[in-house]
Structure 1
Amino acid sequence: MRFYSVNTIKNYRSAWVCFLRWYRGPLDQIDQEDIREYLELLVNGGASASEVSVTLSALRTGLDKFCLLRCTVGLVSPRKSKQLPVVMSKKEVQRMMEAARTLRDKLLLTVLYATGLRVSEVARLQWSDFDFDRQQIRVQLGKGKKDRYVMLADD
């Protein structure tokens, strides 16, 4: 009904199963304090910011949007830490390319490294997605089901 991706549905379902195992009362009596207590339990148990955010989103969708309980209003998702990406050295890239056994593997690794595409996006690429005249690749239905163009390097 809301056109969530398969992964979102799986993650929301998992979050709901875990929450319902913890919460033993009637669902129509869940309040904001119950949600806050559960989220604190997750944080104290070592859950990542992403896990807590997904759980809050799942509960918000189910309780506030579908059941109209408004028990997650005012609760905010934790901020994810913003770390710089790990960048491989030239020697590491050369070793990775040399380790590729087939031309296909080398091509896939080259496209991954040169464009920064996600593995799932590269796996869905077709020959028609490459536009060599404009030096770009069309990525169809990438993250968030969005299309975009990625530039091809000159060399």
Structure 2
Amino acid sequence: MIGIKFVPNKLIQSLIKGLPNAKWSKQYNMAYIPNTKSNLGVIFNTFKGLVWINYNRFLTNKPINTKNESIDVEWFRKRKTVPEYRVCPEEYLLKLELKRYANNTVRTYVSFFEMFINYYKDKELNTINESDIRAFLQTLIRRKVSNSYLNQAINAIKFYYEVVLGMPNRFYEIERPRKESKLPKVISKEEVLSIIACTNNIKHRCIAELLYSSGLRRSELLNLKATDIDSKRMLIRVEGSKGNKDRYTLLSKTTLEDLRIYFKEWKPKEYLFEGQKGGRYGGESVLKIVKTAAQKANIKQVVTPHVLRHSFATHLLESGVDLRQIQVLLGHGSSKTTEIYTHVATNTFKTIKNPLD
């Protein structure tokens, strides 16, 4: 059924009476009609321009992505915890599983939500209110955590009340920290080349080359398979990246030559880069490869896989590539995200004459 909850109003009551097979539920204290697609349309057309309709309950079951990595929540169910430690409710884990959230998101949400419910160990979950949530967040602010950390805590808490329990989000409109506007860290082309030159072997070299020459995220690199390398069109297919989007990005000729050498030598079976025992290569290993090579190249700033991605975008912009094309290559949903590179590209400043000179 479609339940219709509303503040008593004569206009709304008279309009509800005109809905097909409208009935009243004493148990739930709301009107209801059969849940059909046509009835949803009838409700929209009946109340359009007169009231605001909250359709949230009908939008939560939108199609899910089936390409995500397999979700592993069994680890949370089977782990050993200390006595009196309050674990994440089963319905929370189940909802994460059903919505097929990425494993990293699952780990983040569970750890933050457990931190929250253990802060209120003596309170029943259904008695924790908005003031309690704010008090908990205040303790995090006093610890001087980053805005990103605070936002993750808010997301984990809101997920329980709004998605698991299905409460309207306006009841839990928690204030978020002001968004920080940080510029991406970028290194020069010469520094990128010196990092690639300082890698230990052909496998490490290919990893560093792909991160830079294709602008890949670390997770995208780890999910690559040999079939994703299109040497005829000189493109790389990136599947199920951030936001469950597929895209194509550039394949460098230099990288392709090195990949052919790597493939003959290492013979990967499933993923393009695999661990010693097979399976997907580790994210920490990729980070270590980049950091170690950067240290060998005597680069003073800390270089991560994402710094190479930022450098790829910035160097393209400096060489005159259109911002929209860069957005497509990076897989950004909004052009505003890509515009941040205009603040670090040197061609933005080269035309300006310094007043001292």
**TM-score scaled by structure 2?**
0.40
Give me the whole-angstrom Cα distance separating, in 2, the residues matched to 1:99 and 1:87. 18
The count of corresponding residues between Structure 1 and Structure 2 is 155
Find the residue that maps to 2:172 and give its secondary structure. Answer: coil
| Residue 209 (structure 2) aligned to one of 97, 106, 110 | 110
| Identity fraction in percent | 31
1:69 to partner: Cα distance: 5.1
| Residue 46 (structure 1) aligned to one of 137, 140, 144 | 144
Give me the whole-angstrom Cα distance separating, in 2, the residues matched to 1:149 and 1:78. 35
Q: Which runs of 5+ in 1 are unaligned?
A: none
1:129 to partner: Cα distance: 0.9
1:153 to partner: Cα distance: 4.6
Change (3 A) 1:80 1:87: same
Give me the whole-angstrom Cα distance separating, in 1, the residues matched to 2:236 and 2:178. 32
- For residue 12 of structure 1, what is the aligned residue in structure 2? 109
Matched, 1:90 2:189: yes
Greater gyration radius: 2
- For residue 37 of structure 1, what is the aligned residue in structure 2? 135
1:117 to partner: Cα distance: 0.5
| Residue 218 (structure 2) aligned to one of 119, 125, 145 | 119
- For residue 132 of structure 1, what is the aligned residue in structure 2? 231
| Residue 22 (structure 1) aligned to one of 85, 107, 119 | 119
- 1:99-120 deviation per Cα after TM superposition (whole angstroms, max 9, x unaligned): 1121222122111111221122
| Residue 2 (structure 1) aligned to one of 85, 99, 104 | 99
| Residue 146 (structure 1) aligned to one of 238, 245, 259 | 245
Give me the whole-angstrom Cα distance separating, in 2, the residues matched to 1:132 and 1:54. 40
Partner letter of residue 97 of structure 1? I
1:38 to partner: Cα distance: 1.0
Find the residue that maps to 2:248 and give its secondary structure. Answer: strand
- 1:47-92 deviation per Cα after TM superposition (whole angstroms, max 9, x unaligned): 2222211111111111233234558522143344232221112332
Partner letter of residue 9 of structure 1? V
Find the residue that maps to 1:92 and give its secondary structure. Answer: helix
**TM-score scaled by structure 1?**
0.86
Give me the whole-angstrom Cα distance separating, in 2, the residues matched to 1:79 and 1:134. 43
Change (3 A) 1:116 1:48: same
Partner letter of residue 109 of structure 1? A
CA RMSD of aligned residues (A): 2.1
Q: Given that residues 213 and 250 in structure 2 are in contact (C-alpha distance below 8 angstroms), is that contact kept between their aligned partners in structure 1?
A: no
Give me the whole-angstrom Cα distance separating, in 2, the residues matched to 1:80 and 1:149. 30
Change (3 A) 1:43 1:142: same
Change (3 A) 1:79 1:2: farther
